[in-house]
């Protein structure tokens, strides 16, 4: 079970991910395609509805051309 602090962290991460994606002029569809994810998966992460795995975070950072540290600096 996820506690309230973790829920807020996931929501904040999702907002940060969305800001990075938009700053790179990528749609959810484009990022999903590049990561071999579904558009729904990207949306779920951006809304803070799921806790992404380490491999998901690494794939996102690679496709958004940011370091993992930058991706997690929210």
Domains and CATH numbers, the chain: 4-71 (1.10.260.40)
Among candidate residues 57, 65, 60, 13, the one with its CA nearest the CA of residue 32: 60
Kindly state the tokens that stand for 61: 């950072």
In Å, what is the CA distance from 54 to each residue of 25, 39, 57?
24, 19, 5
Tokens 């079970």: give the residue: 1
Q: Is the pTM of this model over 0.95?
A: no
CA atoms within 13 A on the CB side of 35: 25
Tens-digit pLDDT profile for residues 2-54:
799 999 999 999 999 999 999 999 999 999 999 999 999 999 999 999 999 99
CB 48: neighbour CB atoms within 10 A?
A: 19
């Amino acid at each position: 079970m996820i506690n309230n602090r973790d829920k807020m962290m996931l929501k904040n991460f999702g907002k940060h991910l969305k800001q990075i994606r938009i700053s790179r002029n990528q749609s959810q569809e484009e990022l999903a395609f590049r990561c071999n994810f579904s558009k729904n998966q990207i949306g779920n992460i951006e809304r803070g509805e799921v806790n992404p795995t380490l491999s998901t975070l690494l794939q996102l950072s690679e496709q958004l051309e940011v370091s993992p540290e930058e991706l997690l600096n929210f």
